[in-house]
């Protein structure tokens, strides 16, 4: 089953490798007998379906899920059924590729504060300092 990520990015079935393993966690007898967890592998480093910019962003985003050879491993075991876990793994991989395909935002340009804002900030600091100074104990000569 081909994985449609975006209008321009389509991953053919031949580039995806699925293996089924036993799930961890609760599930009674079923968890010990049935291999419902899915391990989906996608060789992103050598995939002809990905543009170069998307490939580099995807491998950077994948973090621990990417091997040193550039293979992304997605494991799904949250459902009791193999078919649902298969769909969950494929959806997760597609979301990861979609996020990598989105262009990064432009870098933030630093701006200087305006002269008026600097003066307002300093005036506020002066007023606050005056308030704090007036909170002090009265001078020794002011007692009745």
35-87 residue pLDDT tens: 778 888 988 888 888 888 888 888 888 888 888 888 889 988 888 788 888 89
- DSSP assignment letter at 70: S
- Statement: residue 31 has pLDDT above 70: no
- DSSP assignment letter at 80: S
Q: What is the pLDDT of residues 104-129, one digit of tens each?
A: 889 999 999 999 999 999 999 999 99
pLDDT on residue 113: 95
Residue 117 forms part of a structural domain: no
Give me the number of domains the chain comprises: 1
Q: Half-sphere exposure (CA, 13 Å, Cβ side) for 53?
A: 7
**CA 82 from centroid of its chain's CA atoms:** 26
Residue 96 forms part of a structural domain: yes
Residue 128 forms part of a structural domain: no
Query: What residues make up the domain containing 10?
Result: 3-101
Residue 39 forms part of a structural domain: yes
pLDDT on residue 26: 63
pLDDT on residue 119: 97
- Statement: residue 10 has pLDDT above 90: no
pLDDT on residue 132: 93
CATH code for the domain in which residue 74 is found? 3.30.160.20
Residue 107 forms part of a structural domain: no
Residues 6+ positions from 142 with CB-CB distance below 8 Å: none
Residue 108 forms part of a structural domain: no
Confidence of residue 142 (pLDDT cuts 50, 70, 90): low
Residue 144 forms part of a structural domain: no
**Is 59 within 8 Å of 66 (Cβ atoms)?**
yes
Residue 63 forms part of a structural domain: yes
């Amino acid at each position: 089953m081909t994985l449609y990520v975006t209008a321009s990015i389509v991953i053919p079935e031949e580039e995806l490798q699925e293996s089924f393993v036993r799930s961890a966690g609760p599930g009674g007898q079923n968890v010990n007998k049935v291999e419902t967890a899915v391990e989906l592998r996608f060789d992103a480093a050598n995939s002809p379906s990905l543009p170069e910019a998307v490939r580099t962003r995807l491998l950077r985003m994948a973090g621990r899920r990417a091997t040193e050879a550039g293979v992304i491993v997605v494991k799904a075991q949250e459902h009791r059924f193999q078919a649902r876990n298969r769909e969950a793994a494929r959806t997760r991989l597609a979301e990861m590729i979609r996020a990598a395909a989105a262009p990064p935002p432009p870098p933030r340009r630093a701006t200087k504060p305006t002269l008026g804002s600097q003066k307002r900030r300093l005036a506020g600091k002066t007023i606050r300092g005056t308030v704090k100074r007036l909170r002090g104990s009265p001078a020794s000569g002011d007692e009745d």
